[in-house]
Amino acid sequence: MSAPSPVVAPSILAADFARLADEVRAVEDAADWLHVDVMDNHFVPNLTIGLPVVQSLRAVTAIPFDVHLMIEDPRRWAPGYADAGAYNVTFHAEASDNPVSLAKDLRAAGAKAGLAIDRDTPIEPYLDLLPSFDTLLIMTIKAGFGGQKFIPAMLDKVATARRHVAAGHLELRIEVDGGIGEDTIAQAAGAGADAFVAGTAVYSAEDPAEAVRKLRGIAARAMAEP
Ligand SMILES: O=C(CO)[C@@H](O)[C@H](O)COP(=O)(O)O
């Protein structure tokens, strides 16, 4: 089986919120997914956007939405994002007492289900849950803010997850999020990630679409290495 091609997902957290539709259009032809960070100022100490913004954005672009819920009580809100047309809805393991049940509900609502693991959370207790998920998002920073520095020690979790996925022949994207850019994406891909969230690296570039293409090229080369 050939390796899947990398997914690059620009995070609109780094976009200009006053021009959100234009910022999305700037990457929609180049990117695979659009990463949408939903924060509630409870699960993380930051507040961003919610369901109405996702619903409005859904109407202006066809790019698949990769919604990352950094919220308490994901059971209450996650299905609404699936109903709003999100492709992938990811919630945090730390915020859920029954992740498998919520994943089932998301899939029943027509979305892919993602499980996110924050910086200080070990991966091992969650490995057996992975067959219920389509995406495993491993934070490579502490969740809550864009523009932080990539933490290389998180790559051990990526490698552990990749070994588990390979051994179980699971169909699951391993996504990394935080500090991903030209200097770090190859390490993440080399450790076993195949989906890459990039906020600052994309939206601070002069040409965001070109930045996405460049990141995908670097990741694809690293993933192809034996
Ligand atoms: O989830 C988050 C932050 O909690 C991320 O999606 C960031 O938005 C990534 O931003 P950069 O580190 O790429 O600037």
Catalytic position from the list 37, 66, 118, 194 = 37
Tokens of 8: 């690059």
pLDDT value for 226 = 80
Domain 7-224 belongs to what topology? TIM Barrel (3.20.20)
Task: Give the DSSP letter of residue 2.
Answer: P
The string of pLDDT tens digits covering residues 133-151 is 999 999 999 999 999 999 9
pLDDT value for 3 = 65
pLDDT value for 2 = 53
Task: Give the DSSP letter of residue 55.
Answer: H
- Select from 184, 185, 172, 170 the least CA-distant residue to 223: 185
Q: What ipTM, to 2 d.p.? A: 0.98
Catalytic position from the list 32, 40, 118, 177 = 177
φ, ψ for residue 138 (rounded to 5)?
Answer: -105, 115
The string of pLDDT tens digits covering residues 41-100 is 999 999 999 999 999 999 999 999 999 999 999 999 999 999 999 999 999 999 999 999
pLDDT value for 4 = 81
pLDDT value for 19 = 97
Q: Is 29 annotated as catalytic? A: no
Question: What CA–CA distance (Å, rounded) separates 148 from 133?
Answer: 27
φ, ψ for residue 204 (rounded to 5)?
Answer: -95, -5
Residue 217's pLDDT band (cuts 50, 70, 90): very high
The string of pLDDT tens digits covering residues 107-119 is 999 999 999 999 9
The string of pLDDT tens digits covering residues 159-197 is 999 999 999 999 999 999 999 999 999 999 999 999 999
Average pLDDT, the chain: 97
What's the predicted TM-score (pTM) here? Answer: 0.98
Q: Which residues line ligand 1 (CB under 6 A)?
A: 11, 13-14, 35, 37, 68, 143-148, 177-180, 197-201
Place of tokens 């029954």: 98
Cα-based distances in Å from 110 to 26, 105, 203: 27, 9, 30
Higher pLDDT, 141 or 2: 141
Binding-site positions for a divalent metal cation read 35, 37, 68, 177
Atom 7 in ligand 1: which residue has the minimum CA distance? 146
Question: What CA–CA distance (Å, rounded) separates 70 from 91?
Answer: 7
Residue 186's H or E segment, with its range, is helix 185-191
Question: What CA–CA distance (Å, rounded) separates 60 from 151?
Answer: 35
Question: What CA–CA distance (Å, rounded) separates 133 from 170?
Answer: 9
Atom 10 in ligand 1: which residue has the minimum CA distance? 146
Distance (angstroms) between ligand 1 centre and the Cα of 1 equals 32
The mean per-residue pLDDT over the stretch 11-22 comes to 98
Cα-based distances in Å from 191 to 95, 188, 216: 26, 5, 16
Distance (angstroms) between ligand 1 centre and the Cα of 15 equals 11
| Amino acid present at 133 | F
Distance (angstroms) between ligand 1 centre and the Cα of 68 equals 10
pLDDT value for 1 = 47
Q: Is 177 annotated as catalytic? A: yes
For 92, residues 6+ apart whose C-beta sits below 8 A from its C-beta are 43, 69, 70, 71, 74, 115, 116, 117, 118, 143
For 153, residues 6+ apart whose C-beta sits below 8 A from its C-beta are none
Atom 8 in ligand 1: which residue has the minimum CA distance? 146
Length of the chain: 226
